[in-house]
Amino acid sequence: MDRTTLDLWVGIFVAIGVAALFGLAMKVGNLTSSKIGPTITVTAAFDNVGSLKPHAPIKSAGVVVGRVDNIVFNSETYEAIVTLNIDERYAFPIDTFANIYTAGLLGEQYIGLEAGGDEVVLKNGDKIAKTQDAIVLEKMISQFLFNKASETEAKADVKAAPPVGTELDILK
Amino acid sequence: MIKSKLMLSMLRHLRGMGHRMIERTWRLGAGARLFFLAIVYSGESFKRFHLTLREIYFTGVMSLLIIIVSAFFVGMVLALQGYNTLQKYGSSEAIGVLVALALVRELGPVVTALLFAGRAGTAITAEIGLMKTTEQLSAMEMMAVNPIARVVAPRFWAGVISMPILASIFSMVGILGGYLVAVPLIGVDDGAFWSQMQANVDFSADIVNGVIKSLVFGVVCTMIALFEGFDAPPTAEGVSRATTRTVVISSLTVLGLDFILTSFMLVV
């Protein structure tokens, strides 16, 4: 085999390989999208973080504005302290509301920020005071059943004699 | 009488077991020694880089066709099978994630290594075995040419360089094959396919780990092929056996090593 043709083929081979790796990084991986600029760090306390994990996105109006840095348990207040890295390009008021939402029915959990109305903005090291916990499905169902039961009971009281085979009976 | 016969046969079995064990350990040590020597004498394969370039051509470029064709079909079949199950849960858009993660994390490095062992590893073993049989290696030593620096090291580096490149190509072509089945054929949304993939494939955790795996497999597969060739008995039968052993040992080592590497990577 001629030396120059051989060099050419090896060159083509390496070029395809580099192109494939580049394609994997850019088109398949999150090398382009995961970049958020310099961040400020704020904390937020939650009673229950559900299945929130470090690196989970922080979204505001559906746009990713930061990532969860870490989650620790505070044994004095029995709360989960979540550290948030928020892109410093975005300024949020100090009374911003932090909620834990679920993407889709079974999707991953993320933090949604809803801007408040205060003039003072969040700075590095601040604490978000207004938080809302992750929704626990079992809790919600039991609450729903409880409400339903008390509702029918109230109705039954008004009617004096409860009819046979109401929702109440079925629930029992 | 019967008792002593039993004792004798037991002893024979024990001796056979011990012999095999010693031989395997010896081979492992000899392989490690060859690996060490190949690294020590690899200066020449970089100083005279055309030696390595020639080997990259034979191991890498010549494996390109089989890699691309099998990657394409692996990607297509992954998409088909994945869609079949995912659509039951109404999440057929996740097919991009499934195909990409399966290829980048596991199938890319592993299948490439298996194909590499079959396509390039056997060629290396047969070539070196035949060189040994026809006493070319001894002739080199006579002329004060170190066969490890001249024959082993360039092939070793060629394999180590080629494998990650081949694995990257495998993953990318496989994803394109999966795309071809998922988007135009099945009708999964084009945007959802790529955006879900980008949201769930992490560069450092998935792609870089895949490349690390393929690098390790490159070292292991090439080294096994080189050692088997170097160690082959200088007969036609010996070379043929060595070639078979290259494929068997490489495949088993790659599969076992993949499990170990994955268990380390997932913990970290």
Per-residue pLDDT tens over the stretch A1-13 = 678 888 888 899 9
H/E stretch holding A84 = strand A79-87
Confirm whether B202 is domain-assigned: yes
pLDDT digits (tens, 9 = 90+) for A61-104: 888 888 888 889 989 988 899 998 888 888 888 888 898 888 77
* Global pTM value: 0.76
DSSP A134: P
Mind telling me how many Å the CA of A25 is from chain B's nearest CA?
Answer: 6
In a domain, B164, yes or no: yes
In a domain, B84, yes or no: yes
Indicate whether B103 pLDDT > 80: yes
- Residue B49 inside a domain? The answer is yes
Averaged pLDDT, B30-55: 89
In a domain, B80, yes or no: yes
**C-alpha closest to that of A135 among A99, A167, A164, A104:** A99
Instruction: Tell me the mean pLDDT in the region B154-166.
Output: 94
Distance, in Å, from the CA atom of B185 to the CA atom of A155, rounded to the nearest integer, reads 57
Q: What's the mean pLDDT in B88-94?
A: 82
- Whether residue A172 has pLDDT greater than 60: no
Of the partner residues A6, A9, A17, the one whose CB lies closest to the CB of residue B169: A17
Per CB-CB distance under 8 Å, the chain B contacts of A110 are none
Would the CB atoms of B203 and A9 count as touching at under 8 Å?
no
- Please compute the mean of the pLDDT values over residues A41-58 and round it to a whole number: 85
Instruction: Look up residue A86 and give its DSSP letter.
Output: E
Which residue do the tokens 């080199």 mark? B140
Q: Mean of the pLDDT values across residues B31-59? A: 90
Q: ipTM strictly over 0.95?
A: no
| Confidence label for B90 from pLDDT (cuts 50, 70 and 90) | confident
**Tokens (6 digits) for B145:** 């040419």
- Residue reference for tokens 């020597």: B37
pLDDT, residue B189, reads 82
Collapsing DSSP to helix, strand or coil, B243 comes out as: helix
How many angstroms separate the CA atoms of A117 and B89, rounded? 41
**How many independent structural domains does chain B possess?**
1
The single residue listed with the structure tokens 């505070």 is A74
| Short-list B139, B159, B163, B166, CA closest to B69 | B166
For residue A102, the surrounding DSSP H or E stretch is strand A97-102
Show the domain range for B129.
41-267
Tens-place pLDDT, residues B3-28: 788 888 999 999 999 999 999 999 99
pLDDT band at A35 (very low <50, low <70, confident <90, very high): low
**CB proximity A145 to B under 8 Å:** no
Structure tokens at B103: 């290829």
Q: Supply the pLDDT for residue A89.
A: 86
Q: Indicate whether B45 belongs to any domain.
A: yes
Q: Which of B169, B199, B206 sits opposite A20 (nearest CB)?
A: B169
In a domain, B36, yes or no: no
A63 close to B (CB below 8 A): no
CA distance B208 to A7: 28
pLDDT at B115: 95
